Each structure stands twice: as structure tokens, then as C-alpha cells.
């Protein structure tokens, strides 16, 4: 699953939960808390403390909207927001009118719990529980200190707390549970994608191996069978030439899967290594620049030169020349007249010149005719 394609499933889900919590808190703050505060503004002692607490909560909501829009988390700033929220709760409590706790005048009691959900939604549950417990303690303490200790007031406070504390806590529990499910689903989808990718890679590798070895199978297997059933004699010069050519083809096959800056030269070096191991003096030179040909074209370019290299008697020279339109592989070797293998494509042209025991072979490919 690509990260560059956008937010992951769990991140998108968390973003939706953040927007939902922000919407709920904004509706409570503007639709319920603000009218209650305005209605009771003359009763507060003093009113500016309530306005300051309301301003703190408003700023936190604005910051949350900004962070959600840019898909950022609170990070360490959340602790500043929590401290400001607790300070707003204390300021709101101490400036309430007499016996105004957990009444309509106490607008913060129904709002600040959701502010805690916004700040702690992506944290552990116990942190939100601790925040709500601290906020409830501040409210009850202020209620007791202001003389609201009668049974009716305490029962009313308990009933109101179910709504103002219970709903944010229940929402946070649901968000954490659903977030965990989303992360599990994302991990499962990622693992399934990994399995599919692994299977696709394995199938592709198998197909490429089958395609590569099919090319060798047509020529190497009959040679090995002939040597095994003694219909071919190892001391015969023609059999030795065939063995040298097949050895060079195998080296080229192994070189095809290597990661090299110039695959064509890399494969030619491996082909030349077979001749070099026989004590043949091999020179390899390159001139110009060229685009990397496909594997099929590289095989066609090296097939005939490979045969000349593998069957050289004492020396061979390989030259690769490339320009904007033409790429050619030239080999001069003292191998005499040999039967060159077919190249299997019309995109590469083969030319040969024989002068006594010297053979010149050129394999030429016009890059402008390359299959795209």
C-alpha cells in the first residue's frame, strides 16, 4: 500500500473522528454554552474571567481546525492546550455566581470534557480519564466550597455529570476502539498487498527465468545429451567449439540479471572472459554513447560476436560503437570460418568478412527502430 497515494486508512479514519469531535464541541460551545454565558453575564464575578475562559476554549477549537485541515497532530503543544483548558475550568468556576455550579450559568461544565477529547483522542485512554477526573474534581470542589452541599444539589451534579463527563468518555472509547479496528484493517490490507506483490514478483521471475533458459535449452541440452550418450566426442574440434559457445552463452545469461551501468558492455565482458580463460588475448574497446537496448536486442547484438570470441584461437578484438542512431558490436578474431548462430530478430543486421583465418563480424542495430 503506497504512502505517497495519500493518507493511510487509519489516518483518514482518525481525521474523520477529529472532525466529528470538533463539530460536536463547536455546536455545544456556540449553540448552548455561548447563549447561557451571555444570558448570565451580569451575574459573573467578574465577567471578564468567563469571557477569558470562553476565549481560551475558542482558540483551542480554531487551532484544532487548522491542524486538522493541514493533517497535523498536536504533538507536545497538546500539553499547553490541556494546561490552558484546566486553567479555563478553574477561572470559570471561581467566577460563577453563588450556587451557580452545574447550572446553566456553568457553561464550561458541558463543554470542556469535549475539549479534552479533541486534545487526547490519539493518546491512551487513561490520559483522557485522568483529565476528566481532574475536571470533575475541580467542579465538585468549587461546588462544595460555594456551599452547594445539600442533597438536591449533589444529586443534580451527579446527574449532570453523566451527560457532561460520560458522553465525552463514551465518544473517546468508541473512537479508540474504531481507530484500533481501522489500524488492524489497514495492516491486514497491507499484508494482503504484500502477498500479492510477492506472488506477482515470483511469477514474473519465474517467467523471465523460463524465457532465459528456453533460449539455452535449444542448444545446450542437445550438446550435453550428445556428450552423455557418446554420440559427440569431446576431442573433436567442432564439439569443443560448440562447448565454448555454450559456455559463453551461459556466462551471458548469468550477466543479464546483474545490475550494471552499461548492460551490453557488462555482458560482453562476461563473454570475453570465456576466451580469456582459454589463454586468448582479448581486447575490449567502446566508443560513443548509446541507450541501453532491451534484453532481446542485446542477445541479438552479442550472439554472433559471442561465437567468434568463444572459438578464437589466440586473439580477438571487440569494439562497441554507438551514436545517436546506430549501435554496433564488432569482433575480429582468428577463429577462421565458423557457422554463426541465428539471431532471431530482423532488427539487428549481421555482416561478416573472412580473410584466411581471420573473421570479422559486425552486429548492427538502429536505435531509431527500437521497439518502444
Identify whether residues 141 and 243 lie together within a single domain: no
Identify whether residues 65 and 159 lie together within a single domain: yes
Query: pLDDT at position 362, please?
Result: 92
Whether residue 325 is contained in a domain is answered as: yes
Whether residue 318 is contained in a domain is answered as: yes
| Domain stops at, among 134, 160, 191 | 191
Identify whether residues 245 and 181 lie together within a single domain: no
Please write the tens of the pLDDT for every residue from 246-300: 877 777 877 777 778 888 898 888 888 888 888 889 899 999 888 888 888 888 8
Judge contact between 41 and 137, C-beta under 8 A.
Answer: no
Whether residue 202 is contained in a domain is answered as: no
Identify whether residues 175 and 318 lie together within a single domain: no
Whether residue 225 is contained in a domain is answered as: no
Query: pLDDT at position 214, please?
Result: 66
| Domain stops at, among 191, 225, 250 | 191
Query: pLDDT at position 10, please?
Result: 64
Tell me the mean pLDDT in the region 326-332.
91
Residue by residue, DSSP assigns 325-344 as SEEEEEEEES--S-PPPP--
Rounded Cα distance between 298 and 290, Å, is 12
| Domain stops at, among 157, 176, 191 | 191
Identify whether residues 260 and 159 lie together within a single domain: no
Query: pLDDT at position 371, please?
Result: 47
Please write the tens of the pLDDT for every residue from 11-64: 777 778 888 888 988 998 898 889 989 988 888 888 899 999 999 999 999 999
Percentage of the chain surpassing pLDDT 90? Answer: 15
Residue by residue, DSSP assigns 51-111 as HHHHHHHHHHHHHHHHHHHTT---TTHHHHHHHHHHHHHHHHHHTSPTT-TTSTT-GGGGT
**Number of domains making up the chain:** 2
Identify whether residues 166 and 252 lie together within a single domain: no
Identify whether residues 266 and 184 lie together within a single domain: no
Residue 186 binned pLDDT confidence (cut-offs 50, 70, 90): confident
List the single range of 101-115, 123-137, 205-219 with lowest mean pLDDT: 205-219
- Please report the sign of the dihedral spanned by the C-alpha atoms of residue 22, residue 27, residue 29, residue 30: positive
Q: 151-170: buried (b, 16+ CB within 10 Å) or exposed (e) per residue?
A: eebeebbeebbeebbebbbe
Could you list the beta-strand ranges (E) of 334-372: 348-355, 358-366
Whether residue 210 is contained in a domain is answered as: no
Query: pLDDT at position 3, please?
Result: 42
Query: pLDDT at position 48, please?
Result: 92
Identify whether residues 266 and 341 lie together within a single domain: yes
Of 191, 185, 182, 202, the closest CA to residue 1 belongs to 191
Please write the tens of the pLDDT for every residue from 135-162: 888 888 888 787 656 677 677 777 777 7
Residue 6 binned pLDDT confidence (cut-offs 50, 70, 90): very low
Identify whether residues 253 and 364 lie together within a single domain: yes
Identify whether residues 120 and 243 lie together within a single domain: no
Residue scoring higher pLDDT (157 or 105): 105
Residue 319, domain extent: 233-369
Q: What are phi and psi of 354, to 5 degrees?
A: -115, 125
Amino acid at each position: 500500500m503506497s504512502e505517497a497515494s495519500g493518507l493511510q486508512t487509519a489516518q483518514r479514519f482518525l481525521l474523520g473522528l477529529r472532525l466529528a469531535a470538533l463539530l460536536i464541541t463547536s455546536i455545544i460551545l456556540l449553540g448552548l454554552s455561548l447563549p447561557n454565558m451571555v444570558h448570565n453575564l451580569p451575574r459573573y464575578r467578574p465577567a471578564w474571567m468567563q469571557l477569558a475562559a470562553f476565549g481560551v476554549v475558542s482558540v483551542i477549537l480554531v487551532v484544532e481546525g487548522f491542524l486538522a485541515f493541514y493533517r497535523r497532530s498536536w504533538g507536545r503543544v497538546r500539553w499547553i492546550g490541556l494546561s490552558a483548558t484546566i486553567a479555563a475550568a478553574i477561572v470559570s468556576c471561581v467566577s460563577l455566581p453563588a450556587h451557580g455550579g452545574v447550572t446553566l450559568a456553568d457553561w464550561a461544565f458541558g463543554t470542556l470534557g469535549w475539549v479534552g477529547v479533541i486534545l487526547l483522542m490519539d493518546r491512551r485512554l487513561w490520559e483522557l480519564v485522568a483529565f476528566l477526573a481532574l475536571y470533575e474534581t475541580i467542579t465538585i470542589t468549587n461546588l462544595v466550597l460555594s456551599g452547594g452541599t445539600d442533597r438536591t444539589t449533589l444529586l443534580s451534579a451527579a446527574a449532570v455529570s453523566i451527560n457532561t463527563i460520560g458522553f465525552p468518555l463514551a465518544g473517546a472509547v468508541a473512537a479508540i476502539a474504531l481507530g484500533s479496528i481501522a489500524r488492524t484493517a489497514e495492516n491486514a490490507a497491507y499484508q494482503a498487498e504484500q502477498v500479492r506483490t510477492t506472488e506477482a514478483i515470483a511469477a514474473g521471475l519465474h517467467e523471465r527465468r523460463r524465457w532465459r533458459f528456453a533460449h539455452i535449452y535449444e542448444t545446450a541440452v542437445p550438446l550435453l545429451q550428445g556428450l552423455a550418450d557418446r554420440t559427440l566426442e569431446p576431442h573433436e574440434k567442432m564439439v569443443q567449439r560448440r562447448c565454448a559457445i555454450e559456455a559463453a552463452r551461459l556466462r551471458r545469461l548469468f550477466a543479464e540479471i546483474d545490475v550494471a551501468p552499461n548492460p551490453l558492455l557488462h555482458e560482453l565482458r562476461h563473454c570475453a572472459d570465456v576466451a580469456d580463460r582459454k589463454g586468448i588475448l582479448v581486447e575490449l574497446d567502446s566508443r560513443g554513447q548509446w541507450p541501453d537496448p532491451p534484453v532481446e536486442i542485446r542477445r541479438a547484438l552479442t550472439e554472433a560476436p559471442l561465437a567468434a570470441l568463444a572459438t578464437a584461437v589466440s586473439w580477438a578484438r571487440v569494439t562497441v560503437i554507438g551514436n545517436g542512431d546506430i549501435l554496433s558490436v564488432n569482433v575480429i578474431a582468428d577463429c577462421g570460418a565458423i557457422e554463426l548462430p541465428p539471431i532471431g530478430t530482423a532488427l539487428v543486421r549481421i555482416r561478416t568478412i573472412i580473410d584466411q583465418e581471420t573473421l570479422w563480424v559486425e552486429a548492427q542495430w538502429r536505435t531509431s527502430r527500437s521497439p518502444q
